[in-house]
Structure 1
Amino acid sequence: MEGTVEFNVDGIDTPCKTWYKVFGDLKSRRPLVALHGGPGVTHNYLLSLADLVGTHAIPVVLYDQLGNGNSTHLQDKMGDTSFWTEKLFIAQLEGLLDHLGIRDDFDLLGHSWGGMLGARFATTHPPGLKSLILSDSPASMELWVEAANKLRAQLPQDVQDTLDKHEAAGTTDSEEYQGAVMFFYSRHLCRLDPMPQDVQDVFQWLQKDPTVYMTMNGPSEFHVTGSLKDWSIIDDIHLINVPTLLLNGRYDEAQDSVVVPYFRGIQKVKWFTFAESSHMPQYEEREKYVQLVGEFLTQGL
């Protein structure tokens, strides 16, 4: 099932639209709602989660966050940090849950930025949230950038020099800079060569409309200049009271140092690191990923 739901946003004269797609039967059992990352990419790279319908009979809901993919784009809001906020995206999520009639009973998976958003949502104790999966997600952007810069320091010197040169000159939109970023991504975002088409589709969407990514994040994963640069949930992690599964990869941008505050702060938690993956184990070790998520959702911790 595929559709859209209207979403009224303060300051926008006409209703925005949230695009969503449901895999499986929402009435068959508790559904899993997935929050994509970025911020500013699309649902495409989470399509592998639809495997859960066949392996564990778990219905899956994917959607595009506002400003992205098939949902309403607002390019005139480029740089407006007061508009693109956690509060906005949580309100969008709540509107979708209401529209689908699942707000009283659902599980949530957030990947990367989606995990940051999901963790923040979980601290508000939404009554229908039964379990949480934080996949490849940082507990703070300070820890994220620190880990990313350690990985960056292991890149070939010429790649590092290219990154440094363009960041200093403010020419991060150049092809040379983007090529150096893609080299980093080939090691720490997705190690599959070629990258799956679902992942490539995300980059194409990002090129079409970088509004949300540039406003909230910035030019790259390690050159964070946007509104999230000081983001942290470390002081509120203890408020998460649902069973939680933490996932990351050995070569991940979300290194162990980035994830460990969740493990220390959440009471009911399990943590698994994929040995052969970076930031996208849902494709790099797809079968294992789906198995772990499915078992957690059907059997608990």
Structure 2
Amino acid sequence: MVRIEEGFLNIHGLRIYFKLYNVGSRIDLVVLHGGPGASHDYLIPLAELSNYGINVLFYDQFGSGRSDEPSDFSRYTVDYGIEEAEEIRKQVFNDKVVMLGHSYGGMLALAYALKYQDNLVGLIISNGLSSIPLTVQEMRRLIEELPERYRNAIKKYEQIQDYQNPEYLEAVQYFYKQHVTRLDELPEPVKVSFEYAQKRRTYAIMNGPNEFTITGTIKDFDITDQLHKIRVPTLIITGKYDEVTPRIAELMSSKIRDSRLVLFEKSSHMPMWEEKDKYLAVVRDFIFELYNKNK
């Protein structure tokens, strides 16, 4: 039986929202959302893993979703996110866990593993990245493949930093439709997460005005040359049309010795919605394999 627990944890003086799908097993999954600034809601399909005996913990990171935001600007870093994740792991499970990070959360999970991999059973990097500069470079390549109208609008208004111009915003949305989620209608949980990202200041502080214009505190973050230090089994997930392109996933997989790469042929950045059943099966089977190996 699944017991849903939710509320706030005191993490380094901030109220951090969490939601735990607790089945009382010894298989624990901690989920790190993207953004930053968004909420965990769009990753809610992963809650279904609790039906298979996996405890699933979601939380809204600092300055994201329903959680408090730091008043100290110096906290808006990946390093702070690492320590937040570790404190949450200790407070909720105090045991080794599987960590799944999506998008920016995947980068955060990789950084966490470099410092705290002894606390991990395994790692799942879903549509994630290890280098912001490389990811921007790849997204710029995707922009060059857009129809001329949208490509020119992006270049024109970025030159004058008019990120709110209707023509620019239309081009951004077209890019998102190709490379973030290709669904005809956004599911409500995805809308909720996007709304949080727009109204919380964390996305602008850490990321920037949009997915491919990264001007915030993470703009130079790159840990690719350290990935060889990760020893835990790692599953890397990417979508054929992903804004964080398969090239990035392939590079990460080549650096992490005990890793496997799964490409979702019909997905962009959100295979947990675009190919939900396959996504959940891939994640579930990987987690079961980890725990069976560690029996």
**TM superposition score category, shorter chain reference:** over 0.9
Unaligned runs of 5+ in 2: none
State the superposition RMSD in angstroms. 1.5
Q: 1:232 is aligned with what amino acid? A: D
Report matched runs for 1:41-190 at 5 Å. 41-54=38-51, 56-74=52-70, 80=73, 82-100=74-92, 102-190=93-181
What CA distance in whole angstroms lies between the structure 2 residues aligned with 1:47 and 1:207?
Answer: 19
Residue 140 of structure 1 deviates from its aligned partner by: 0.9
Residue 145 of structure 1 deviates from its aligned partner by: 1.0
Residue 260 of structure 1 deviates from its aligned partner by: 2.0
SS in 2 for 1:225: coil
Report matched runs for 1:9-24 at 5 Å. 15-24=13-22
Report matched runs for 1:263-282 at 5 Å. 263-282=253-272
Map of 2:276 onto structure 1 = 286
What CA distance in whole angstroms lies between the structure 2 residues aligned with 1:220 and 1:241?
Answer: 33
What CA distance in whole angstroms lies between the structure 1 residues aligned with 2:216 and 2:99?
Answer: 26
Q: 1:121 is aligned with what amino acid? A: Y
Q: 2:32 is aligned with what amino acid? A: L
Any conservation in 1 of the 2:125–2:237 contact (CA below 8 Å)?
Answer: yes
The answer to whether the aligner puts 1:226 opposite 2:226 as a matched pair is no
2:237 is aligned, of 247, 258, 268, to 247
Q: 1:127 is aligned with what amino acid? A: D
Residue 114 of structure 1 deviates from its aligned partner by: 0.4
What CA distance in whole angstroms lies between the structure 2 residues aligned with 1:24 and 1:105?
Answer: 16
Deviates more, 1:170-179 or 1:41-50: 170-179
What CA distance in whole angstroms lies between the structure 2 residues aligned with 1:183 and 1:70?
Answer: 28
What is the aligned residue count?
Answer: 287
Structure 1 runs, 4 residues or longer, greater than 6 Å off: none
Q: 1:266 is aligned with what amino acid? A: I
What CA distance in whole angstroms lies between the structure 2 residues aligned with 1:189 and 1:132?
Answer: 22
The answer to whether the aligner puts 1:32 opposite 2:43 as a matched pair is no
Q: 2:40 is aligned with what amino acid? A: H
Normalising by the residue count of structure 1, what TM-score does the alignment of the two structures yield?
A: 0.91
Deviation string 1:193-239 (CA, Å, 9 cap, x unpaired) is 11111111122112222x21112211122211122222111111011
What CA distance in whole angstroms lies between the structure 2 residues aligned with 1:170 and 1:142?
Answer: 19
SS in 1 for 2:133: helix
Any conservation in 2 of the 1:18–1:92 contact (CA below 8 Å)?
Answer: no
Deviation string 1:133-157 (CA, Å, 9 cap, x unpaired) is 0011122112211111111111121
Deviates more, 1:16-25 or 1:268-277: 16-25
